[in-house]
Amino acid sequence: MLNNIGLPGLLLIAVVVLVLFGRGKISSLMGEVGKGITAFKKGVNDSTKELEEGINDEAKDVTPADEKDKA
């Protein structure tokens, strides 16, 4: 169904949206979308860092002290 929209169809949709909502409303909406994308990327990076730090914590030496002395 959406395979045959093409460039003229997309331009028509863009013009209709522009007429309905106005330039100011669309620019503020796109600003909010940009902020959302930035927040999403930051969240993904933070969670990746947490996972990497967790893996590093698990890789620490947990041998009991008395066994270290024997070696």
How does DSSP classify residue 1? Answer: -
| Contacting residues for 18 by C-beta, under 8 A, at least 6 apart | 26
Q: Which pLDDT does position 43 carry in this prediction? A: 93
Q: Which pLDDT does position 34 carry in this prediction? A: 94
Using the structure block, give the residue that is written with the tokens 């331009």: 11
The span from the CA of 71 to the CA of 60, in Å, is 18
Q: Is the pLDDT of residue 1 over 60?
A: no
Q: Which pLDDT does position 61 carry in this prediction? A: 63
Q: Is the pLDDT of residue 71 over 60?
A: no
> Tens digits of per-residue pLDDT, 6-64?
888 989 998 998 898 888 888 888 899 999 999 999 999 998 888 887 776 665 666 77
Burial class (CB in 10 A: 0-12, 13-18, 19+), 31: exposed
